[in-house]
Amino acid sequence: MRRLSRKKALSLVRELDAFPKVSESYVETSASGGTVSLIAFSAMALLAILEFFVYRDTWMKYEYAVDKDFSSKLRINIDITVAMKCQHVGADILDLAETMITSSGLQYEPVIFELTPQQRLWQRTLLLIQSRLREEHALQEVLYKTLLKGAPTALPPREDTSMEPLNACRIHGHVYVNKVAGNLHITVGKPIHHPQGHAHIAAFVSHETYNFSHRIDHLSFGEEIPGIINPLDSTEKITYNNNQMFQYFITVVPTRLNTYKISADTHQFSVTERERVINHAAGSHGVSGIFVKYDTSSLMVTVSEQHMPLWQFLVRLCGIIGGIFSTTGMLHGLVGFCVDVICCRFKLGVYRLREDVQLHNQMNNLNHHQIPLLDDHVPRE
């Protein structure tokens, strides 16, 4: 009984077979079919290799949410060189709440404003990268993927000890501010704080020494990450007017970066530049100096590195192989039909399918080999 039930089960499974087997004696091979098969197999191999490279690659996914963190401090990283002596300039930050943050976290270092050939080459390279980033936004994703591997973005030190006078002041360091709008300004005189606000002691500085030509080697917000190039890095402004005002309007966007190499909370920002000459007689009022006005966005961007799952890669691979196999089969049949039509083989009542022709030939061969039967009415010898 068990054997009978097994046989019934096997016979039932055979009836459900969706892939019927064809005997090799009924299969006809041709040179054109072999050529199409070689082309199909080559295309399958090529596309499978390309799909494997796509599977290995990653892409960046951007998600947007409301920034609910208002209590934390915002770090500002500064490295600016001004073409004035350090005793003549001062830097401080005044936020929207009229809270002045002194320059205790900033250092003033006398330097030479002119760059060495090696430093100038570094600056030109960084400017070239900046211009490419403005044109090709996809390059930013490449920078995200290669973090901690790229070259340092800081200005390299001078390779020689020059005897030139120290005619500039490098203001560098970092400060922590509230996450509200603020104004970082560098102007003449050291800043002082008093109950009515703040001021800069500029009475003892000669007007002829005013020169706010400057170079922004680095300006960023949040945690410093090697490999990230910020919009104002390597920016250089030269002026020959003593009453020049430079303004930078910055919108800071909190950014959470999650890649396979690093996870950090940093900030991106966009900037708009403006400069003008202070001339009270012409109605252009203001104070000479460098002003960086920043404001934080209420949206937070989460940048995460994504990878194609294995099951999706296998599905795409099966689709490539099956699609090419089916498409080449249909194209081969269509091309064969068109060749038959072109060769004038398709005529009404004359053209028959190749299978019918072969069956007819086989029947003719059998008729030729058969011995004719004698009729009963024909007399035998």
pLDDT value at 314 more than 80:
yes
pLDDT of the residue at 207: 77
Q: Are 104 and 191 in contact (CB under 8 A)?
A: no
Cα distance between residue 258 and residue 61, in whole Å: 10
What is the token pair recorded at 321?
A: 């192989």
Q: What is the mean pLDDT of residues 146-170?
A: 72
Cα distance between residue 7 and residue 118, in whole Å: 86
pLDDT tens per residue, range 169-219: 999 998 888 888 888 889 888 777 766 667 777 767 787 888 899 999 999
Cα distance between residue 74 and residue 269, in whole Å: 13
What is the token pair recorded at 97?
A: 């709440």
131-145, 193-207, 218-232: range with lowest mean pLDDT: 131-145
Confidence of residue 70 (pLDDT cuts 50, 70, 90): confident
Summary mean pLDDT of the chain:
78
pLDDT value at 77 more than 70:
yes
Q: Which position has the higher pLDDT, 151 or 10?
A: 10
Cα distance between residue 272 and residue 305, in whole Å: 29
Identify the residue whose tokens are 């040179």.
Answer: 31
Question: Nearest Cα to 63, choosing from 300, 247, 258, 274?
Answer: 300
7-11, 108-112, 242-246, 298-302: range with lowest mean pLDDT: 7-11
pLDDT value at 293 more than 90:
yes
pLDDT value at 253 more than 70:
yes
pLDDT value at 148 more than 50:
no
pLDDT value at 268 more than 80:
yes
Q: What value does the CA radius of gyration of the chain take, rounded to a whole number of Å?
A: 40
Q: What secondary structure, in 3-state letters, does the chain show?
A: CHHHHHHHHHHHHHHCCCCCCCCHHHCCCCHHHHHHHHHHHHHHHHHHHHHHHHHHCEEEEEEEEECCCCCCEEEEEEEEEECCCHHHEEEEEEECCCCEECHHHEEEEEECCCCCHHHHHHHHHHHHHHHHHHHCCCHHHHHHHCCCCCCCCCCCCCCCCCCCCCCEEEEEEEEEEECCCEEEEEEECEEEEECCEEEEECCCCCHHHCCCCEEEEEEEEECCCCCCCCCCCCEEECCCCCCEEEEEEEEEEEEEEECCCCEEEEEEEEEEEEEEECEHHHCECCCCEEEEEEEECCEEEEEEEEECCHHHHHHHHHHHHHHHHHHHHHHHHHHHHHHHHHCCCCCCCCCCCHHHHHHHHHHHHHHHHCCCCCCCCCCCC
Confidence of residue 81 (pLDDT cuts 50, 70, 90): very high
pLDDT value at 355 more than 80:
no
Q: How many CB atoms lie within 10 A of CB 363?
A: 10
Q: What is the mean pLDDT of residues 146-168?
A: 70
pLDDT value at 133 more than 80:
no
pLDDT value at 307 more than 80:
yes
Cα distance between residue 375 and residue 381, in whole Å: 13
Compute the C-alpha angle 321/323/327, nearest 5°.
120
As beta bridge partners, residue 235 has 216
pLDDT of the residue at 381: 44
Identify the residue whose tokens are 């004359």.
Answer: 350
pLDDT value at 149 more than 60:
no
pLDDT value at 108 more than 60:
yes
54-63, 76-85, 314-323: range with lowest mean pLDDT: 54-63
Q: Which position has the higher pLDDT, 296 or 344?
A: 296
pTM assigned to the model: 0.68
Q: What is the mean pLDDT of residues 62-70?
A: 85
As beta bridge partners, residue 254 has 267
Q: What is the mean pLDDT of residues 109-118?
A: 88
Q: Are 247 and 293 in contact (CB under 8 A)?
A: yes
77-81, 198-202, 351-355: range with lowest mean pLDDT: 351-355
pLDDT of the residue at 373: 44
Cα distance between residue 83 and residue 113, in whole Å: 6
Cα distance between residue 229 and residue 219, in whole Å: 10
Confidence of residue 19 (pLDDT cuts 50, 70, 90): low
